[in-house]
Structure 1
């Protein structure tokens, strides 16, 4: 018979072994990333020089030409856009899946498909960059700022910077979400809107056998919407951490030398900020189902809305490519800083 000391020693070893295994299995339930480090460690001028040369507006224009078509849910064009985004991301090295579901709507049963893409899928934390990809069900409505431009910005960043994102030693990785069914089919209500985001948030909130869920892995949920109109800055929203707005303003100041000046006279080259200090009441959008589940969000949508919102004038003829270039660069830099890419890694990876 084993002595009591040996039994106690064996039990202690088993407890330690179980704890190690349990902690490993629960890595995805790890604590949120401390944003304090992110705010304190800014990228360098050398880093953003490399970034600015990587994000091609010519490539952006090509992507936009494939997405900026009339694409309401259930049409052939809607399918074409979904397939284009999925193919571009997959061929660039992203792991892509579709969150497909059917739901009864005010105009009958409809099938929706969110596009979800991730790199470094085994990372324990996520920063989500998102937009919606369908256009509103309106005659001759392209939805260029709503939201072909946001989609094109995300795809361009994803293609151009995936190797850099993969180089990060952070526990946080980038996850892209292109929501389906953001727009109401008739009038906006709690049930006739946000079809894709409501479904995905509910799916991600489901706990696994260890009591963990995907939604608890999200460090920050960034939503882009209505981007591309001239002279429409992003306000601050009360449900968003003001430190992230301060971070965006700091990044903007760092990037000023790389912003497009176009035909502006020297007197006009001091562009107004893309980020207003005005606090605007919260707006219902695809971040709402995630915010209601406790996810930190950063909502980047101008307010008041641009005049072409939900109007047939929302076309490529009414967007500002200079503003798009600048905002795209700010978002890319924000992601790199959030991922805590070490100094000089940006230049090393992007010039290889």
Structure 2
């Protein structure tokens, strides 16, 4: 997972950097608000089952056998939903040497070739001294996107929708910006490669918006507005959440976040990062299934599905802003 502008995790709700010691559910935290009616097409139970399977592969850093197994699982589950998965393999130059990485994408054609992207990362942080299975950080986004792809495939589409699983979001060095150099940071390898390939193919003008999800299953879920994200797109998501009764989950506190959306923003693609940075077990062995909740998956799914018609309507009236 990313960090606020300087250290991927400047958890400024209480004005400090580092891990915010948010109270856990079992310590008496307030429950999440009631879910929308049962008619919701997004099934958090399905997403949770995927999360259990993904976490079962163990630590999944880029280039590992466990991540290859995860990739095979993602592909298999998407195929069972009748979806075709495209692989985007590449070799990343990292502080630990050259690492083979693979982005995965499912494209759902619409009446227009222009694309709306829904994305997240599926790798976990490399931690040599402790097992890090990333139930929330890396697991929740991947599990969520499998279920989102299933739901979106059944919908009528004006724009082409693409669901992308980024490899190599995590830094190999201990800190987000400890290594790397200008123009080649030690993070966001998959998203940077995706943007570079789109630029090379002349496809950047087709990328109309990116909705990024990361760490969306905290038991005490709270999303703050990322000041690096495109303001009108943030407003669209947050207004939808309030309309659904989730104003206490999508709050108006702000912070700047560096994540897989930054390469898109730098390329002129409107993007929003939906991320809960106030997660006590972040990048610790404690990021396990017992610290997350399927309700976060449900809330995020319902908000994005409810927001999508308004996003398409906005993009139909706006010329590409680049």
Measured against the shorter chain, the TM-score band is: 0.7 to 0.9
SS at match of 2:258: coil
Name the structure 2 match of 1:279.
254
How far is the alpha carbon of 1:91 from its aligned partner?
A: 3.2
Rounded Cα–Cα distance in structure 1 between residues aligned with 2:150 and 2:205: 27
Structure with the higher fraction of residues in strand conformation: 2
Residues 116-127 of structure 1 aligned to structure 2 (within 5 Å): 116-120=105-109, 123-127=112-116
Contact 1:236–1:242 (CA under 8 A) maintained in structure 2 = no
Residue deviations 1:91-131 (CA, integer Å, cap 9, x gap)? 32333211101133221221000001111177321111111
Contact 2:134–2:287 (CA under 8 A) maintained in structure 1 = yes
Contact 2:48–2:294 (CA under 8 A) maintained in structure 1 = no
**Do residues 229 (structure 1) and 218 (structure 2) align?**
yes
How far is the alpha carbon of 1:272 from its aligned partner?
A: 5.4
Structure with the higher fraction of residues in helix conformation: 1
The 3 A distance-change label for structure 1 pair 161 and 294 is closer
Equivalent residue for 1:76, pick from 55, 65, 73: 65
Name the structure 1 match of 2:263.
289
Contact 1:123–1:173 (CA under 8 A) maintained in structure 2 = yes
Residue deviations 1:239-298 (CA, integer Å, cap 9, x gap)? 333333333233224433xxxxxxxxxxxxxx75211212212x2211111111111111
**Do residues 219 (structure 1) and 194 (structure 2) align?**
no
Rounded Cα–Cα distance in structure 1 between residues aligned with 2:292 and 2:198: 35
**Do residues 57 (structure 1) and 44 (structure 2) align?**
yes
Rounded Cα–Cα distance in structure 1 between residues aligned with 2:170 and 2:110: 29
The 3 A distance-change label for structure 1 pair 193 and 173 is same
Question: What is the number of residues matched between the two proteins?
Answer: 267
Q: In structure 1, list runs of 5 or more residues that go unmatched.
A: 1-47, 208-212, 257-270, 341-352
Residues 196-207 of structure 1 aligned to structure 2 (within 5 Å): 196-207=190-201
Name the structure 2 match of 1:349.
none
**Do residues 136 (structure 1) and 125 (structure 2) align?**
yes
Residue deviations 1:122-176 (CA, integer Å, cap 9, x gap)? 7321111111101111231011111211111111121133111xx22x2x12111
Residues 7-156 of structure 1 aligned to structure 2 (within 5 Å): 52=40, 54-68=41-55, 69-70=57-58, 71-120=60-109, 123-138=112-127, 139-156=130-147
The 3 A distance-change label for structure 1 pair 200 and 272 is closer
SS at match of 2:61: coil
Residue deviations 1:42-96 (CA, integer Å, cap 9, x gap)? xxxxxx86851x2223212221122223212233221111111122223323332
Name the structure 2 match of 1:28.
none
Name the structure 2 match of 1:194.
188
> Normalised by the size of structure 2, how large is the TM-score?
0.76
The 3 A distance-change label for structure 1 pair 200 and 245 is closer
How far is the alpha carbon of 1:336 from its aligned partner?
A: 4.3
Aligned-residue CA RMSD in angstroms? 2.2
Name the structure 2 match of 1:248.
237
Name the structure 1 match of 2:302.
329
Contact 2:244–2:303 (CA under 8 A) maintained in structure 1 = yes
Contact 1:93–1:119 (CA under 8 A) maintained in structure 2 = no
Q: In structure 2, list runs of 5 or more residues that go unmatched.
A: 1-35, 314-322
The 3 A distance-change label for structure 1 pair 241 and 182 is closer
| Higher Rg | 1
Name the structure 2 match of 1:19.
none
The 3 A distance-change label for structure 1 pair 331 and 95 is same
> Normalised by the size of structure 1, how large is the TM-score?
0.70
SS at match of 1:220: strand
